[in-house]
Structure 1
Amino acid sequence: MYRLYYQILGFVSTTRLFNVIVLCLTQYLISIYILAPERSLTSLILDFNLFIIVLVTAISTLSGYIINNFYDFEKDRINRPKMFFLGNLISVINQLKIYFLFNLIVMIISISISYKVFVFYSFYIFIIWLYSYKIKRFYWASNFISSAIVIYPFFGVILYFGTFSFKVILMALFLFNLLFLRDLVKDLQNFNGDWIQEYKTIPIIYGVFKTKIVASFFSLFTFILSINLLNFNLGNIYFYYLLSIFFILIWTVYLWIYRDQKNYLWLRNFIKVWILIGVFSITLIT
């Protein structure tokens, strides 16, 4: 009984199940409120093709977290000992078995829908593996690719509905910037483990001070994006982007004040919470 409980706990930790649930929920919310607002809620929820896209996204993302956990084995032992313990309640061999099983399921489902869906998710699986295996060690690509990977599944529903506008681009860039800032702070937080494992992150190559300058630049870009999004008729989500202006200013100030790993974790969690608030704010779009 206890063994099963710990295996379930290990699976949830390894696959970041909560993150995947939020990702799938977000795909449905942007479909309902942004990409196909003219369709009824019932028709979208019962849309089988949309369900399959969300399902395949969920399974491929779960497998992505598993392979990322596999390659981060030694680094997480140093940087996140508690998460390391939870993430390895399932043996490495079993993690790899689940990883390949999930990818096989994705391939079978996607090829049964269309060749384009198969190619789209095959590339998604491949780029996650390449990022986990090699790219994350290169400071010049790691943060950009990591943020792009998170956004990539949303293009699945965008392509499905064929809706692409300047407003959608700005909203995607806003999310990309928040994700990029989150990853920069993560690199500051994981400095010790990255240095031991010889990861070439921006803080390792250029130091903490210059990393904060880069973060401040992207904070400024996020600030500008927030102001531009206020010009669109987005309903009550207007207030989310208005508050984002103040949030990013305060967050940047504390970025320069904070200097230790614990406080960097707080900054990273604040970004996560703000992204989560943004997800539920989608329901305010009219």
Structure 2
Amino acid sequence: MLSRKNKLILLKLLSLFSVVRGYNILIIVLAQYLTSIFILAPHIKLRNVILDPNLFVIVLATSGVIAAGYIINNFYDREKDLINRPQKTMLDRLVSQRTKLTVYFVLNFLSVVCASYVSFRAVVFFSLYIFGIWFYSHKLKKFPIIGNIVASLLAITPFFAVFIYYKNFDEVIFVHATFLFLILIVREMVKDLGNLRGDIAQDYKTLPVVYGELISKRIVSILLLISCFPVYLLLTRYEIGYMYLYFYICIFLFIAFLFGLWKSKGRIHYVWLHNILKTIIVLGTLSIILIDITLVLDRVM
């Protein structure tokens, strides 16, 4: 049996894991490696990509910055989250604000140190990334549309890190990135719809607060329909192997999402819609391997 002290330590570790959203970071790490293997560096042997120390350091630095970003976001949103997500917020509060800020600065410092192993440009890149996350959390997230766009850009920045490293400028990469970017914007707007009560209480000028739920739903619907354009291009213009199955699933999920969006009337409904979008993103990460399954076998040799 664990002692009371050990149970408290375990709960605090669980709380910190909840704050930094470790499960999201694991998905991002997996996405960075799969993107590197199947999209950005398909000409390099699998073993060489996986064991590349520079790529490992980039992924490690990215994970540290993102974890720190979740901490500073949690710091600024603590009052709003208490209204929107009281149970999760109570768990998050097991770790003091002082401890969170200490971990925030340590993670950012270590991430920059890791980046210095790759190059000075990597140091500049991650320093700007850190500043961008802080500025978004402190100021920009309180503004409609701008906050959603910046949040989405920050979310795809980890992929730009490996994109810059491999210097792969193929057109298909930008089409994939456009699709992901649009899905992320939609996700951010759906989060704002679900957080309406807390945003109003804390005077956040998000899209639903300023323009109302109806207009927000219309904008979300338009963006989701626009995201069908890169899907069409990927299905008809580019060679994506069996990944076409993923995009057909996306079309079905889009229809279910739009139907649910216009039927939604409360936070619980928007949580379900948010989960649909998370499913699309996670499935997209896992389906990267379907671009060319034989590629794995060929590159192991």
- TM-score where L is the length of structure 1: 0.98
Q: Hey, what does 1:238 align to over in structure 2?
A: 244
Give yes or no for contact 2:253–2:276 (8 Å, CA) kept in 1: no
Is the counterpart of residue 204 in structure 1 residue 200 in structure 2?
no
Residue identity matched to 1:176 = F
Map residues 144-183 of structure 1 onto 2, 5 A cutoff: 144-183=149-188
Q: Hey, what does 1:262 align to over in structure 2?
A: 268
Give yes or no for contact 1:227–1:242 (8 Å, CA) kept in 2: no
Q: Stretches of 4+ moved more than 4 A in 1?
A: none
Q: 1:219 & 1:32 partners in 2: Cα distance?
A: 28
Map residues 1-286 of structure 1 onto 2, 5 A cutoff: 1-231=6-236, 232-286=238-292
May I ask how many residue pairs the two structures share in their alignment? 286
Q: 2:272 & 2:7 partners in 1: Cα distance?
A: 32
Q: 1:68 & 1:272 partners in 2: Cα distance?
A: 19
Q: 2:158 & 2:249 partners in 1: Cα distance?
A: 27
Q: 1:61 & 1:275 partners in 2: Cα distance?
A: 17
Please, which moves more after superposition, 125-134 or 222-231?
222-231
Q: 1:271 & 1:140 partners in 2: Cα distance?
A: 18
Task: Name the Cα RMSD after superposition.
Answer: 0.9
Structure 2 residues not aligned, in runs of 5+: 1-5, 293-301
- TM-score where L is the length of structure 2: 0.93
Give yes or no for contact 1:230–1:242 (8 Å, CA) kept in 2: no
Structure 1 residues not aligned, in runs of 5+: none
Please, which moves more after superposition, 269-278 or 108-117?
108-117
Give yes or no for contact 1:75–1:197 (8 Å, CA) kept in 2: yes
Please, which moves more after superposition, 83-92 or 124-133?
83-92
